[in-house]
Amino acid sequence: MVSTLSNNGQQLLSKMATSDGHGEKSPYFDGWKAYENNPYHASDNPEGVIQMGLAENQLCYDLVQEWLLKNPKASICTPEGVYDFRDVAIFQDYHGLPEFRNAVANFMGRVRGNKVTFDPDRIVMSGGATGAHETIAFCLADPGDAFLVPTPYYPGFDRDLRWRTGVQFVPVACDSSNDFKITRQALEAAYEKALEDNIRIKGLLITNPSNPLGTFLDRDTLRSLVSFINEKNIHLICDEIYAATVFAGQPDFISISEIIEEDINVECNKSLIHVVYSLSKDLGFPGFRVGIIYSYNDAVVSCARKMSSFGLVSSQTQHLMASMLSDDEFVDKFISESAGRLATRYELITCGLGQVGIRCLKSNAGLFLWMDLHQLLEEQTVEAEMSLWRVIINEVKLNVSPGSSFHCPNPGWFRVCFANMDVQTMDVALSRIRDFMDKSKKRTRPKKKLCWQASFRVSVSSRRIDDIMMSPRMSPHSPLAQSPLVRART
């Protein structure tokens, strides 16, 4: 461990820098470390840990590669594009390249079914969604102020919005009893509790589609949230970075922008609404660090643009993305194909899990699913969940993220990412789960028979997986089973 103290015992670094605010000690990040120390490789390290804790979309890189080959001028690092090098490499102001902002605004609209339009002049750049969230927190709240956050929520929020700003979170209790829906009652209870504790609430932070649930909010819920923040005169930050990962569901995904601009049944002070977006999930470009703040508040746009100087998107990336996202034919094909491939992969993994008796919350979006293993816990506690998680990561060699790291109030839930690997690796992961469940049912625990003695029939096979992968792709709008907790279809 690197010391932060000088020889005479004085603190060398700032208290903020050395605090636990980054959240690195969370099991969420511990799982990543376990993978990094022993990564799975089909030939070089077949007994290594398989990474199922990384929400990354790797299913459509072939479409991107095909576009790049057809459009070499889009990059300034090719013979065809080198003549644009000088204009792109010189200083650019904090507004960003006009063609980039126009292309991003257009893309955001197409992702949302062209039901709402976005003003390029309200597009503010940031270094990924991480930088965007910190910037918006800096703009809206002072140290000690707080945001309401429905549970379970993305563990990185603790780092993104809190670490360097001093902002607090007040959890809004959502649990499995109603499929983790956000209710007005829960919002009011959290708000009133904060007032009792002399905590000033400055806003509500939501993710839509949800990470880790893999579901998106319906119109009535969004209307209720807008009504709530208007009554309390607090801000609403809506993280929509998974907007184009929707692969099933009726009606379609609804953006908060659609609610406040098109819904005649909603009265709203638009200056309270702010959208965070990025290209990391929908396009699968996390390495490009393209984060976006879209605010309906002029003062926030102005402040955030000043702050963006600390995390601008490189001009080279802006130039490339402007060209790619301006190609409407490519964008429409990518969105449609990505939805189909995500649906197929979801079918594959839920089928495999279902055949060994593992249930999941019904998902319709995202790059992950919310897996229910509470029946395997010796006790319904966080401690028991962590014991099970250690078995899964150290013995089964799968990095899945425990629900407690997402602040889930119900022990036994785990987030499982399924879009960051090829189908062969997914096959291995399902095989390991099959073996684990097979061994678990053979254990004898007389006082706790329900924990380890379920007599599930295991029948996951490579042939079954091949059958799924060769079947016609599900329509992005095909309805799934109506039960919120589904055993995967067989």
Give me the phi and psi of 320, to 5 degrees please: -65, -45
Q: Quick one: fold of 20-61+332-486? A: Aspartate Aminotransferase, domain 1 (3.90.1150)
Taking 80 as the threshold, does the pLDDT of residue 435 lie above it? yes
pTM score: 0.85
Taking 60 as the threshold, does the pLDDT of residue 361 lie above it? yes
Predicted pLDDT at 457:
34
Q: Is 154 a catalytic residue?
A: yes
Candidate from 103-107, 365-369, 461-465 with smallest mean pLDDT = 461-465
State the chain's mean pLDDT as an integer: 86
Q: Is 119 a catalytic residue?
A: no
Q: Model confidence at 364, in pLDDT bands (50, 70, 90)?
A: very high
Q: Model confidence at 17, in pLDDT bands (50, 70, 90)?
A: confident
Candidate from 53-62, 136-145, 406-415, 444-453 with smallest mean pLDDT = 444-453
Predicted pLDDT at 449:
40
Q: What is the pLDDT of residues 288-302, one digit of tens each?
A: 899 999 999 999 999
Q: Model confidence at 453, in pLDDT bands (50, 70, 90)?
A: very low
Predicted pLDDT at 390:
95
Predicted pLDDT at 29:
77
Average pLDDT over residues 152-169: 91
Q: Model confidence at 201, in pLDDT bands (50, 70, 90)?
A: very high
d(C-alpha 209, C-alpha 238), whole Å: 10
Q: What is the pLDDT of residues 242-290, one digit of tens each?
A: 999 999 866 789 999 999 987 667 788 999 999 999 999 999 898 889 9
Average pLDDT over residues 185-191: 97
d(C-alpha 314, C-alpha 318), whole Å: 6
Q: Model confidence at 459, in pLDDT bands (50, 70, 90)?
A: very low
Q: What is the pLDDT of residues 222-242, one digit of tens each?
A: 999 999 999 999 999 999 999
Q: Is 241 a catalytic residue?
A: yes
> What residue spans in the chain does CATH classification 3.40.640.10 cover?
72-328
Predicted pLDDT at 22:
67
Predicted pLDDT at 479:
33
Q: Taking the mean position of all CA atoms in its chain, how far away is CA 365?
A: 10
Q: What is the pLDDT of residues 96-135, one digit of tens each?
A: 889 999 999 999 999 998 999 999 999 999 999 999 999 9
Predicted pLDDT at 239:
97
Q: Exactly one of 158, 239, 372, 427 is catalytic; which is it?
A: 239
> Do 243 and 277 contact (CB within 8 A), yes or no?
yes
Average pLDDT over residues 217-223: 94
Taking 90 as the threshold, does the pLDDT of residue 78 lie above it? no
Taking 90 as the threshold, does the pLDDT of residue 315 lie above it? no
Q: Exactly one of 28, 40, 154, 191 is catalytic; which is it?
A: 154
CATH of 72-328, one of 3.40.50.2300, 3.40.50.300, 3.30.460.10, 3.40.640.10: 3.40.640.10
* Token pair recorded at residue 228: 């709530």
Q: Is 239 a catalytic residue?
A: yes
Residues 6+ apart with CB under 8 A from 40: 46, 47, 48, 49, 50, 51, 397, 425, 428
Type of residue numbered 451: C
Predicted pLDDT at 79:
83
Taking 70 as the threshold, does the pLDDT of residue 490 lie above it? no
Q: Model confidence at 476, in pLDDT bands (50, 70, 90)?
A: very low
Q: Exactly one of 201, 229, 241, 465 is catalytic; which is it?
A: 241
Residues 6+ apart with CB under 8 A from 267: 230
Q: What is the pLDDT of residues 403-415, one digit of tens each?
A: 999 999 999 999 9
Q: What percent of the chain has pLDDT over 90?
A: 67
Higher per-residue pLDDT: 434 or 26: 434
Average pLDDT over residues 448-460: 37
Q: Exactly one of 281, 282, 335, 393 is catalytic; which is it?
A: 281
